[in-house]
């Protein structure tokens, strides 16, 4: 799984160990990579490797039920939890930024975020447009490892997507890998396509080369009102990755070094323009939301007082799913054989025939996606479905129906695994947005249940100082021990999310606690009320 994250077909800059998200690294440096790999090759079934921010620090005698790998990444004492402190420590090679699934070696390329993006735009279509984006224009920006999922998710829901990216080479790459349908180098060219396909109510995705702040303003000036506006530029890491107006991507690094104060000023100006234009679209009637990159927080620092006047995508569209423990369940064929994934596709559709969205999703990715790196799949399953499917996978490995073990993991954007007040836990019913006990408890619980890898991290997705989150992976190797671990981990990992949302007062989560037999202290073991 570590090597899969660094596969050139998956990683952003594999030679620098950067997997995605601007600077998200799987390991700290070259020496750490080789020491980790050597340790994993020789690790016994009763030993645990500890990794501190991408560097191996010790192998400890534990027991067979304990995790084989425990990680902590970018965890800074709160008073010192700033980008400035992080940069200072990173320059001394004392820490590294792991983003989320890069640090926990569970990144699987664009498909990893794709279903969450697909689910989001499906919810957008249901809430605002009678269940389809047909004939609708969705404006967004950023074609990085995460943002490139948006054009496919929009077209899969019938819409026309205009996605802006400042880097021509990135747009070309997404065109060559079929993440976008058409590349445009001028707004006029893009608008010709948009007018045609919106009128015909046919899906299309267009990658436009340009700076998002500039293009958004030009569209606004022309009195064009997109139906939906969002953004997924790397605003969580503005200094290293967000490119200000007037600067070419290839010039950015040298300008940061030669004139950092001027560069920061350009960033602030660009962010403010970018966010203010999104607000203007909202005032004109567009559906506008933050897509989890903390652009509102960055813009507020740049002086936009009302930056938080529109919601983020989880608060608006995905939180009800978390209340039932539903989230991004992933599995990876360690054999490298795509047939192992196709066999599990068939099984999951037979296991859960009542889930029409699941069927739509599986049929969509089978037709639309080619595998990059190890063959992998992601489906949003709830806390009852995950252990059931995990046990079936383990039995398939044991019986030889699958040719090798399967790694089961998830995104960090899950029900009980993250505290992020500008994303997953924004505007909680009880005001507990910034309470970070839950992801810590999630990591401790997963370690107690026997997950193969468990980690706790800081900053992923929204930047240093803005989140605490945990990762988990477990190997289905066909053994009875794996069966026991899978049943515990895959149930209680998302089950804690139901407890978290019930504790915050969400009726759906509380109903799930009562109906599913959770034991809550002081309530006779079954009722949360």
Structural domains present in the chain: 111-310 (3.40.50.10730), 318-516 (3.40.1770.10)
pTM over 0.85: yes
- Residues in Cβ contact with 35 at an 8 Å cutoff, skipping those fewer than 6 apart: 55, 56
Calculate the average pLDDT of the chain. Answer: 94
In sequence order, what E strands does 384-440 have? 406-410, 418-419
pLDDT at 14: 95
Are 179 and 152 in contact by the 8 Å Cβ rule? The answer is yes
* Mean pLDDT score, 18-25: 88
Residue 527 has pLDDT above 60, yes or no: no
pLDDT band for 523, please (50, 70, 90 cuts). Answer: low
pLDDT band for 142, please (50, 70, 90 cuts). Answer: very high
pLDDT band for 492, please (50, 70, 90 cuts). Answer: very high
SS (H, E, C) 216-274: HHHHHHCCCCCCEECCCCCHHHHHHHCCCCCCCHHHHHHHHHHCHHHHHHHHHHHHHHH
* Alpha carbon distance 34, 91 (integer Å): 21
pLDDT at 524: 56
In the chain, % of residues over pLDDT 70:
99
pLDDT at 529: 45
pLDDT at 460: 87
> Which H or E element spans position 204?
strand 204-209
In the chain, % of residues over pLDDT 90:
82
Q: What is the pLDDT of residues 425-478, one digit of tens each?
A: 999 999 999 999 999 999 999 999 999 999 999 998 888 999 999 999 999 999
* Mean pLDDT score, 389-414: 97
pLDDT at 114: 83
Residue bearing the bigger pLDDT, 222 or 111:
222
Q: What is the dihedral of CA 124, 125, 131, 134, to 10 degrees?
A: -170
* Alpha carbon distance 112, 109 (integer Å): 6
Q: What is the pLDDT of residues 191-243, one digit of tens each?
A: 999 999 999 999 999 999 999 999 999 999 999 999 999 999 988 888 888 99
Are 159 and 203 in contact by the 8 Å Cβ rule? The answer is yes
pLDDT at 111: 79
Which of 5, 323, 379, 449 does the annotation list as catalytic? Answer: 379
Active site residue 379: yes
């Amino acid at each position: 799984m570590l090597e899969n994250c660094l596969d050139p077909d998956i990683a952003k800059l594999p030679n620098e160990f950067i997997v995605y998200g601007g600077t998200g690294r799987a390991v700290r440096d070259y020496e750490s990579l080789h020491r980790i790999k050597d340790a994993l090759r020789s690790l016994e079934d009763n030993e645990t490797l500890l990794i501190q921010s991408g560097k191996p620090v010790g192998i400890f005698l534990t027991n067979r039920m304990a995790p084989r790998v425990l990680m902590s990444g970018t965890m800074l004492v709160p008073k010192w939890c700033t980008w400035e402190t992080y940069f200072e420590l990173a320059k001394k090679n004392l820490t590294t930024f792991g983003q989320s699934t890069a640090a926990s070696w569970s990144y699987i390329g664009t498909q990893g975020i794709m279903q969450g993006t697909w689910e989001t735009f499906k919810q957008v279509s249901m809430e605002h447009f009678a269940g389809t984006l047909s004939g609708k224009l969705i404006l967004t920006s950023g074609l990085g490892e995460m943002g490139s999922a948006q054009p496919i998710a929009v077209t899969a829901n019938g819409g026309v997507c205009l996605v802006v990216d400042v880097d021509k080479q990135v747009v070309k790459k997404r065109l060559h890998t079929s993440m976008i349908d058409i590349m445009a180098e001028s707004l006029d060219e893009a608008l010709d396509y948009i007018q045609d396909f919106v009128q015909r109510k046919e899906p299309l995705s267009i990658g436009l080369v340009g700076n998002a702040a500039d293009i958004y303003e030009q569209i606004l000036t022309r009195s064009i009102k997109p139906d939906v506006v969002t953004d997924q530029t790397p605003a969580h890491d503005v200094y290293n990755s967000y490119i200000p107006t007037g600067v070419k991507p290839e010039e950015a690094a040298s300008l940061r070094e030669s004139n950092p104060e001027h560069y920061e000023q350009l960033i602030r100006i660009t962010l403010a323009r970018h966010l203010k234009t999104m607000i203007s679209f909202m005032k004109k009637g567009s559906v506008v939301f933050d897509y989890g990159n903390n652009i509102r927080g960055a813009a507020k620092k740049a002086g936009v007082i009302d930056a938080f006047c529109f919601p983020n995508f989880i608060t608006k569209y995905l939180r009800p799913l978390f209340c039932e423990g539903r989230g991004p369940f992933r599995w990876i064929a360690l054999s490298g054989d795509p047939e192992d994934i196709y066999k599990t596709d068939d099984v999951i559709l037979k296991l859960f025939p009542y889930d029409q969205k699941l069927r739509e999703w599986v049929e969509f990715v089978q037709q639309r996606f080619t595998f990059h790196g190890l063959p992998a799949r992601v489906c949003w399953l709830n806390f009852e479905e995950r252990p059931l499917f995990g046990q079936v996978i383990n039995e398939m490995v044991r019986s030889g129906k699958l040719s090798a073990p399967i790694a089961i993991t998830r995104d960090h954007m899950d029900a009980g695994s993250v505290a992020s007040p500008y994303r997953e836990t924004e505007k909680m019913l009880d005001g507990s947005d910034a309470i970070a006990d839950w992801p810590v408890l999630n990591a401790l619980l997963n370690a107690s249940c026997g997950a193969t890898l468990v980690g706790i991290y800081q900053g992923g997705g929204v930047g240093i100082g803005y989140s605490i989150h945990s990762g988990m992976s477990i190997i289905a190797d066909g053994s009875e021990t794996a069966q026991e671990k899978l049943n515990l981990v895959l149930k209680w990992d998302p089950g804690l999310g139901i407890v978290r949302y019930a504790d915050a007062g969400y009726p759906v989560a509380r109903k799930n606690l009562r109906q599913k037999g959770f034991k809550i202290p002081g309530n006779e073991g079954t009722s949360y009320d």
